[in-house]
């Protein structure tokens, strides 16, 4: 009885591998040809021997008390991009072991979760790295990491979970901001498509002199310095600081469309966050307005790192509303709270004549005080339908609808430009870089 209890204790939380099952039934065909009690005797001996090997393997495998497990996660996860996560496994015993396991990120995170046959030396330490990509912002929870250990013969081992559960929060793409900052310090922004803005504008202070380059404005040439050096020299200016930018984000139903795994709203939020970071570094005031039918978020324009962090936290929990945006209410709200001339960057979507008409009626009044920049995202599927050669009556109908959508949007953008607004219509994947280029161009030209 005592030996039985030891055997049962050894199997508590244990598992048997397919290799052990194959070993158990390996002699079955041979025993069929052995008659009578001899076959039963041999089978019994084989089973007892098999059980002894399995019990020894279970006892030789690393158990829950032999392992120390730690998890390393980013303080803030970024949406839509791989986030590096780590597991640290320490063997606290004097035995060698084999470990298999599975990380347990939220189901909405994509990425490889399992690892196979990881050898652990006595008192050894292994660090594993994973990359998980969240599809949506919000609060999530990592579960306990699951492990399966194997004995020396790989016949059996233990199954258990390490207490590593942890709450996490998914924010807009902070990694893009970090990447932009790093490239800016290295002077390598051209690698992601950011253009250096060299325009002559007003309200800027003299910074330095440099050699003339193709594309420079002749009005920036310093003729005295040119005469001294014997080659064209232009003046460099520092853009005026303390300008004001308002990030106005439409959270209505048209922003729900997904492109490349991310909703248009998330693309807009990522671009807005990058613009907020640029404004902070430029010493500008930046504010935030998120709206649908009602005003969802508002942060009055301020400067500094605290304002950037406040915008990050405000954008973290923005959700799409399945309703039409009320442009008039949003712009009236903005006009009543921001009196200083500002660049108002409106991230929205225009599909159909009605949304376009409502936006046009509002922004025409806004241009007398502020400089609106309307940013929309192109729809590659609609563009492809409009250009496809129809082969059936239904194809003709779809192509006609797609062409009408594109025509209405293009017409609305032309009217917006004619009434003093700036417009930008780009593919969702290029949204952030295009928005940065336009912001830098506006500042360099002194449009505010």
Query: Residue for token digits 């945006």?
Result: 325
- How much is the pLDDT for 201? 44
Topology (CATH) of 191-195+241-445: Rossmann fold (3.40.50)
Q: How many angstroms from the chain centroid is the CA of residue 147?
A: 29
Query: Is pLDDT at 388 greater than 90 in this prediction?
Result: no
**Three-state secondary structure string covering the chain:** CHHHHHHHHHHCCEEECHHHHHHHHCCHHHHHCCCHHHHHHHHHHHHHHHHHHHHHHHHHCCCHHHEEEEEECCCCEECCCCEEEEEEEEECCCCCEEEEEECCCCCCEECCCEEEEEEECCCCEEEEEEEEEECCCEEEEECCEEEEEECCCCCEEEEEEECCCEEEEEECCHHHHHHHHHHHHHCCHHHHCCCCCCCCCCCCEEEEEEECCCCCCHHHECHHHHHHHCCCEEEEEECCCCCEEEEEEECCHHHHCEECCEEHHHHHHHHHHHHHHHHHHCCCEEEEEEECCCEEEEEEEECCHHHHHHHHHHHHCCCCCCCCCCHHHHHHHHHHHCCCCCEEEEECCCCCHHHHHHHHHHHHHHCCCCEEEEEEECCHHHHHHHHCCCCCHHHHHHHHHHHHHHHHHHHHHHHHHHCCCEEEEECHHHHHHHHHHHHHHHHHHCCC
State the pLDDT confidence band at 13, using cuts at 50, 70 and 90: low
Segments making up each domain of the chain, as ranges: 1-171, 191-195+241-445, 205-238
- How much is the pLDDT for 1? 41
Higher pLDDT, 22 or 339: 339
- How much is the pLDDT for 199? 44
Question: Nearest 5°: phi and psi at 378?
Answer: -70, 155
Over the stretch 34-58, which tens digit does the pLDDT of each residue have? 666 666 777 677 777 888 888 888 8
How far is residue 102's CA from residue 21's CA, in Å, rounded to a whole number? 23
State the pLDDT confidence band at 313, using cuts at 50, 70 and 90: very high
Query: Is pLDDT at 181 greater than 60 in this prediction?
Result: yes
Contact predicate 82/109, CB 8 Å: no
Q: Which of 207, 184, 212 is nearest to 196 (CA)?
A: 184
User: Which superfamily, per CATH, for 1-171?
Assistant: Immunoglobulins (2.60.40.10)
How far is residue 414's CA from residue 423's CA, in Å, rounded to a whole number? 9
Over the stretch 114-141, which tens digit does the pLDDT of each residue have? 998 899 999 999 999 999 999 999 999 9
Average pLDDT over residues 286-314: 96
Q: Which of 210, 214, 159 is nearest to 14 (CA)?
A: 159
Beta pairing class for 156-162 and 233-238: unpaired
How far is residue 259's CA from residue 256's CA, in Å, rounded to a whole number? 10
Q: Which of 331, 336, 329 is nearest to 372 (CA)?
A: 331
Contact predicate 268/249, CB 8 Å: yes
State the pLDDT confidence band at 2, using cuts at 50, 70 and 90: very low
Question: Considering Cα of 90, then 91, then 96, then 102, what sign does the dihedral take?
Answer: negative
Over the stretch 216-229, which tens digit does the pLDDT of each residue have? 666 678 888 888 88
pTM for the whole structure: 0.79
């Amino acid at each position: 009885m005592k030996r039985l209890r030891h055997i049962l204790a050894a199997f508590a939380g244990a598992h048997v591998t397919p290799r052990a099952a194959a070993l158990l039934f390996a002699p079955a065909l041979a025993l069929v040809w052995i008659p009578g009690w001899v076959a039963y005797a041999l089978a019994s001996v084989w089973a007892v021997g098999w059980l002894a090997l399995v019990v020894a393997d279970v006892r030789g495998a690393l158990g829950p008390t032999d392992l120390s497990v730690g998890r390393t996660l980013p303080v803030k996860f970024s949406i839509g991009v791989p986030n590096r996560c780590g597991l640290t496994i320490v063997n606290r015993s004097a035995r060698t072991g084999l470990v298999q396991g599975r990380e347990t990120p939220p189901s909405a995170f994509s990425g490889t979760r399992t690892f196979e046959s990881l050898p652990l030396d006595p008192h050894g330490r292994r660090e594993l790295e994973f990359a998980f990509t969240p599809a949506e912002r919000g609060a999530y929870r990592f579960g306990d990491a699951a492990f399966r250990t194997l004995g020396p013969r790989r016949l059996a081992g233990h199954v258990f979970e390490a207490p590593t559960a942890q709450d996490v929060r998914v924010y807009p793409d902070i990694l893009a901001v970090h990447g932009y900052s790093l490239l800016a310090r290295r002077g390598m922004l051209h690698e992601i498509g950011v253009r250096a803005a060299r325009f002559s504008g007003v309200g800027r202070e003299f910074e330095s002199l440099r050699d003339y380059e193709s594309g420079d404005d002749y009005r920036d040439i310093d003729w005295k310095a040119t005469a001294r050096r014997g080659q064209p020299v232009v003046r460099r200016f520092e853009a005026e600081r303390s300008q004001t930018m308002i990030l106005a984000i439409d959270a209505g139903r048209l922003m729900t469309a997904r492109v490349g795994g991310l909703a248009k709203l998330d693309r807009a939020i990522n671009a807005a966050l990058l613009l907020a970071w640029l404004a902070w570094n430029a010493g500008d005031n930046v504010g935030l307005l998120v709206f649908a039918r009602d005003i969802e978020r508002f942060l009055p324009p301020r400067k500094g790192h605290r304002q950037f962090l406040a915008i990050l936290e405000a954008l973290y929990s923005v959700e799409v509303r399945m309703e039409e945006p009320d442009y008039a209410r949003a712009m009236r709200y903005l006009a009543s709270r921001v009196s200083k001339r500002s660049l108002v960057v409106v991230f929205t979507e225009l599909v159909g004549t009605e949304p376009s008409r409502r936006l046009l009626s509002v922004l025409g009044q806004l241009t007398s005080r502020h400089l609106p920049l309307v940013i929309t995202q192109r729809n590659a599927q609609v563009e492809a339908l409009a250009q496809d050669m129809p082969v059936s009556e239904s194809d003709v109908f779809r192509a006609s609808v797609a062409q009408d959508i594109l025509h209405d949007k293009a017409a609305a953008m032309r009217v917006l430009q004619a009434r003093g607004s700036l417009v930008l219509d780009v593919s969702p994947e290029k949204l952030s870089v295009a928005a940065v280029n336009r912001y830098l161009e506006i500042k360099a030209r002194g449009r505010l």
